[in-house]
């Protein structure tokens, strides 16, 4: 656990969150400022700052996260959804604990405009 990390504190239960899924490797909770009717954050239960730091030692967490996303999408009947990872400041990463946004429940645009 990183003492200065918001998502580490959420995983530890020190900061409350609306949990949607948990196993030994993954924690998922509702985003506090949703951008779609469904907006969840899936995080590894180990502190990895960002996608740049995924390596052979920790990449099994990524597989577990995508397994968890598939389980939640099945149990919540999410027909379509988008998985987003922002890595770095220009990409919009504001919390430096690796996380995957899962957004659903609306028709989503794609293309140049969707990158803002």
Q: Quick check: 5 binds Zn ion (CB under 5 A)?
A: yes
| Total residues binding ligand 5GP (CB under 6 A) | 13
Nearest approach in angstroms of CB 110 to ligand 5GP is 18
Q: Which CB atom, from 16 or from 111, has the smaller least distance to Zn ion?
A: 16
The verdict on whether 99 is a catalytic residue reads yes
Nearest approach in angstroms of CB 59 to ligand 5GP is 20
Q: Which does 58 bind (CB under 5 to 8 A by kind): ligand 5GP, Zn ion, none?
A: none
Two structure tokens written together for 3: 């003492």
Write down the catalytic residue from 47, 97, 99, 101: 99
Q: Which residue has the tokens 């028709």?
A: 107
Q: Quick check: 83 binds Zn ion (CB under 5 A)?
A: no
| Cα 56 to Cα 62: distance, rounded to the nearest angstrom | 11
Contact 61, 7 (CB under 8 A): no
Among 31, 46, 54, 64, binds ligand 5GP (CB under 6 A): 31
Would you tell me which residues interact with ligand 5GP (CB under 6 A)? Answer: 6, 17, 29-33, 41, 86, 92-95
């Amino acid at each position: 656990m990183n003492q200065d990390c918001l998502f580490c504190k959420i995983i530890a239960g020190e900061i409350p969150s609306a949990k949607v899924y948990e196993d030994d490797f993954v924690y998922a909770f509702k985003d506090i400022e949703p951008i779609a009717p469904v907006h969840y954050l899936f995080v590894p239960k180990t502190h990895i700052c960002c996608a740049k730091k995924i390596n052979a030692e920790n990449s099994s967490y990524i597989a577990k996260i995508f397994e968890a996303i598939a389980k939640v999408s099945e149990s919540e009947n999410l027909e379509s959804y988008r998985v987003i990872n922002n890595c770095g400041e220009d990409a919009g990463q504001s919390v430096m604990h690796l996380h995957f946004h899962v957004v659903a429940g609306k028709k989503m645009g794609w293309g140049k405009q969707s990158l803002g």
